[in-house]
């Protein structure tokens, strides 16, 4: 078997469990994130297209979390299957060493690095903007869509609303609305028909209505109109219902860099932004370090079942994640330089994996 054919074969063996792990983990992470927004995603005005758009917008937020562990699982499970079938032993008997076996894992790790870079610098900003816009639109529609006959909504402070009937749209019939947002100018509006409008913001469009407005403590004015729109404030509802907030995770590396410099320019401490910035850069290179480490673990020691390899991969990633988060905290609190805190875990993983791989190369693949 020629070298190029061997490398393609090994890459296919690693790629299959990698893609399977990515699909399973994305499904799990999607479920965990969408549960946070179940209140407004199951609202009366939410549509199937909103679910699809939020799913597409969340993908670049989830990939940086999913791909590194999928890579570990792919490499560990792929080599475990080859080991179970005795293929690693057969390859070692014909002179195929650990470094040659590591090449497809490094190719896969490099591809993941490139995908993460594209995601973090280009795709993720679009996803965050689209997620905010979609969540806002759904919540705005829900605020009006949840208005039922004879109900008062806390999402509209200062507004008392009553209607005898409601239809899809939504539209209401025989409407009475009391606007107490300005206590000195309380208004009461009556109309046979009203409908939701979003052309100039969240509002209601009334047809053939009557507006009774207090002009002074003892005087009222009455005005009839053919068509009128009342704009409503839904900021309280947006702040309360929108649970899709991720802190520093919403910022791109360039945003973190600008925030760190701006904070220091104003006399503040930018350590938290610098630590997050270097950690984000470290995430882009971590797949290569994890690929080396996973290859060394998979090829060293006795043969492992696929189940055992899966557990080892999960344990390695958990340790790497905890180590990374501790490093970021140390950088934010000034115990380590931010650049060291951000890159130290990936560097350690790479050096440990390289040392183990060289040891396997000298001893031979088992």
The string of pLDDT tens digits covering residues 1-16 is 556 888 888 899 999 9
pLDDT band, very low/low/confident/very high, at 114 (cuts 50, 70, 90): very high
| Residues 213 and 267 placed together within one structural domain of the fold | no
Instruction: Identify which has the larger pLDDT, 18 or 331.
Output: 18
* C-alpha closest to that of 135 among 251, 57, 62, 202: 57
Residue 18's pLDDT is 94
| Residues 222 and 261 placed together within one structural domain of the fold | no
- Would you say residue 123 has pLDDT above 80? yes
316 located within any domain: yes
- Would you say residue 60 has pLDDT above 60? yes
Structural domain span for residue 199 = 159-233
Domain count, the chain: 2
Question: How many angstroms separate the CA atoms of 134 and 125, rounded?
Answer: 14
- Would you say residue 154 has pLDDT above 70? no
321 located within any domain: yes
Per-residue pLDDT averaged across 268-296, rounded? 85
Per-residue pLDDT averaged across 22-27, rounded? 93
62 located within any domain: yes
Residue 242's pLDDT is 64
Q: Which of 209, 233, 257 is the last residue of a domain?
A: 233
Please name the residues in contact with 291: beta carbons below 8 A apart, sequence gap of 6 or more.
71, 75, 102, 105, 106, 108, 109
pLDDT band, very low/low/confident/very high, at 61 (cuts 50, 70, 90): confident
| Residues 133 and 177 placed together within one structural domain of the fold | no
The most confident of 217-221, 301-305, 316-320, by mean pLDDT: 316-320
| Residues 261 and 136 placed together within one structural domain of the fold | yes
151 located within any domain: no
Sheet of 159-167, strands arranged across: 159-167, 171-179, 187-197, 203-216, 219-231
For residues 113-134, b (16+ Cβ closer than 10 Å) or e, as one string?
A: bebbeebbeebbbebbebbbeb
148 located within any domain: no
Per-residue pLDDT averaged across 49-55, rounded? 81
236-280 pLDDT tens trace: 666 666 666 666 666 777 888 888 888 888 888 888 888 888 888
| Residues 13 and 79 placed together within one structural domain of the fold | yes
Residue 15's pLDDT is 92
Stated length of the chain: 366
Residue 38's pLDDT is 64
Average pLDDT, the chain: 81
Q: Write the Ramachandran bin of 214: left for phi over 0, alpha for psi from -120 to 50, otherwise beta.
A: beta
Residue 107's pLDDT is 93
For helices 271-299 and 48-84, the axis angle rounded to 10 degrees is 40
| Window from 17-31, 44-58, 86-100 with minimum mean pLDDT | 86-100
- Would you say residue 314 has pLDDT above 70? yes
Phi, psi of 175 (to 5 degrees): -100, 140
Sign of CA dihedral 146, 150, 154, 155: positive
* C-alpha closest to that of 60 among 141, 2, 115, 139: 115
| Residues 179 and 132 placed together within one structural domain of the fold | no
187 located within any domain: yes
- Would you say residue 296 has pLDDT above 80? yes
pLDDT band, very low/low/confident/very high, at 157 (cuts 50, 70, 90): confident
| Residues 226 and 249 placed together within one structural domain of the fold | no
Percentage of the chain beyond pLDDT 90 is: 11
Q: Which of 233, 261, 280 is the last residue of a domain?
A: 233
128 located within any domain: yes
| Residues 64 and 103 placed together within one structural domain of the fold | yes
Residue 52's pLDDT is 82
Percentage of the chain beyond pLDDT 70 is: 86
């Amino acid at each position: 078997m020629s070298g190029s054919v061997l490398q393609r074969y090994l890459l296919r063996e690693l790629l299959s469990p990698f893609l399977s792990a990515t699909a399973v983990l994305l499904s799990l992470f999607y479920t965990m994130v969408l549960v946070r927004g179940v209140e407004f995603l199951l609202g009366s005005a939410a549509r199937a297209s909103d679910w699809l758009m939020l799913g597409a917008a969340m993908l670049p937020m989830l990939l940086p979390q999913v791909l590194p562990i999928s890579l570990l699982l792919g490499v560990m499970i792929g080599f475990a299957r080859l080991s179970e079938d005795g293929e690693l032993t057969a390859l070692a008997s014909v002179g195929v060493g650990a470094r040659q076996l590591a090449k497809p894992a490094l190719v896969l790790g490099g591809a993941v690095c490139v995908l993460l870079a594209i995601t973090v610098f280009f795709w993720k900003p679009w996803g965050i903007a689209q997620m905010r816009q979609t969540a806002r639109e759904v919540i705005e529609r829900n605020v009006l869509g949840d208005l039922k006959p004879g109900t008062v909504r806390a999402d509209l402070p200062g507004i008392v609303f009553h209607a005898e009937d409601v239809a899809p749209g939504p539209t209401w019939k025989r409407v009475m609305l009391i606007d107490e947002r300005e206590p000195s100018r309380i208004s009461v509006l009556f109309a046979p028909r009203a409908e939701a409008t979003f052309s100039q913001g969240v509002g209601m469009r009334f047809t053939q209505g009557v507006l009774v407005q207090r002009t002074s403590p003892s005087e009222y004015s009455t005005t009839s109109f053919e068509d009128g729109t009342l704009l409503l404030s839904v900021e309280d509802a947006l702040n309360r219902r929108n649970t899709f907030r991720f802190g520093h995770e919403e910022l791109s590396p360039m945003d973190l860099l600008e925030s760190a410099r701006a904070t220091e320019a104003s006399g503040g401490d930018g350590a938290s932004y610098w630590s997050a910035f270097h950690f984000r850069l470290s995430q882009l290179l971590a797949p290569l370090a994890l690929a080396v480490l996973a290859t060394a673990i998979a090829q060293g020691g006795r043969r492992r079942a696929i189940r055992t390899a899966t557990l080892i991969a999960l344990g390695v990633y958990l340790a790497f994640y905890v180590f990374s988060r501790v490093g970021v905290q140390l950088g934010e609190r000034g115990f380590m330089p931010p650049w060291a805190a951000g890159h130290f875990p990936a560097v350690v993983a790479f050096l440990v994996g390289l040392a183990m791989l060289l040891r396997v190369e000298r001893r031979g693949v088992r």
